[in-house]
Amino acid sequence: MEEVNKMIDVSVIYVNYNTKELLEQSLISLNEKTIGVNYEVIVSDNGSQDGSIEMIENNFPNIVLIKNNANLGFGKANNKAIEIAKGKYLFLLNTDTYLINNAVKIMYDFMNTIHNKDVACCGGDLFDAEGKRQAAFGNFPSILDAFSQLGFFKFYKKYYEKYITGGVLNYDSNIKTVDYLCGADMFLRRSLMDMVGYFDEDFFLYFEETEMSYRIKKAGYESVIIPEAKIVHLEGGSQNSEKINVFKINQFAKSRRIYFEKTRGVVIANFVKYIFVLQNVIFFLLKRNTTYLKIAKIINKA
């Protein structure tokens, strides 16, 4: 690990895979909205073939560009950027986001306050392009969450939405400690994360931020949402083809299984997997749509 350059407050890190237009939009917003903090930008590119490399080299020559020449996945590509980052803090930002306000400075000031020294990770409030709220944080996945998704959540909907569900919408301006933050924007305290560890590269996509947040909490540190920092998240913007659906379902199920194996053990991981297989079988029986059987088979094999 290189010695942190104290001249740089924040290293802003993107993982890019064929999202040229989204990345450019995000970089423009970063340059326009970020004031009062010294930052560098690192793009870890996973072998893009859409002109992303040329766009960066022509329009943003000061960006540190890592050419991975292959799709390494989200966690591994982030880790490669973290290895060369020079900032005191690391701001992991999705390419399908753009800043509404000076979110980087807001989170930097919060983390740089001495009484927040045990906060390892913070994130902002998330919205879609129309200003509707997006899930900004969540509760750790659990057996109860899996059971609830069989349809039982309808009997305790408010409790489920606040204390059980994996994705929670923020409706107030209070800074609060949460289980985990959406991976679209994670502002990390490097000194603590060097001890806790960064992304587990067993995850290719999905649940890597959840598992990392689990380790943060287990180590006695906190993840915090700061609603004053506002960011648009065009969720799914980097997945714009119907052909990716099978891959997406398979990868989500696989990563969910890996998460439960690492945090709860193999028996619980398999139990949860079969709950979601059962869920899709039930949906097939109720709706007579064979798509649900196909999903059940994908989950079963994942």
What is the identity of the amino acid at 132? K
Q: What residue has token string 């930002």?
A: 93
Residues 6+ apart with CB under 8 A from 158: none
pLDDT for res 240? 43
Nearest to 182 by CA among 252, 134, 222: 134
Q: Where are the domains of the chain?
A: 10-233, 242-301
Contact 135/126 with Cβ under 8 angstroms? yes
Which strands make up the sheet holding 180-181, listed edge to edge?
168-169, 135-138, 180-181
Residue 238 has a CB neighbour count (10 Å cut-off) of 17
* CATH superfamily, domain at 10-233: Spore Coat Polysaccharide Biosynthesis Protein SpsA; Chain A (3.90.550.10)
User: What pLDDT was estimated at residue 6?
Assistant: 55
Using an 8 Å Cβ cutoff, are 97 and 78 in contact?
Answer: no
By the 10 Å C-beta count (0-12 exposed, 13-18 middle, 19+ buried), 30 is classed as buried
Q: Which two tokens stand for residue 201?
A: 């590269």
Whether this prediction's pTM lies above 0.75 is answered by yes
3 DSSP assignment: P
Q: What is the pLDDT of residue 235?
A: 78
Going by C-alpha positions, the residue among 28, 22, 29, 11 that lies closest to residue 48 is 22
Question: What is the separation of C-alpha 44 from the centre of its chain, rounded to a whole number of angstroms?
Answer: 15
pLDDT, one tens digit for every residue, the chain (302 residues): 334 445 899 999 999 999 999 999 999 999 999 999 999 999 999 999 999 999 999 999 999 999 999 999 999 999 999 999 999 999 999 999 999 999 999 999 999 999 999 999 999 999 999 999 999 999 999 999 999 999 999 999 999 998 999 999 999 999 999 999 999 999 999 999 999 999 999 999 999 999 999 999 999 999 999 999 999 999 755 544 444 489 899 999 999 999 999 999 999 999 999 999 999 999 999 999 999 999 999 999 99
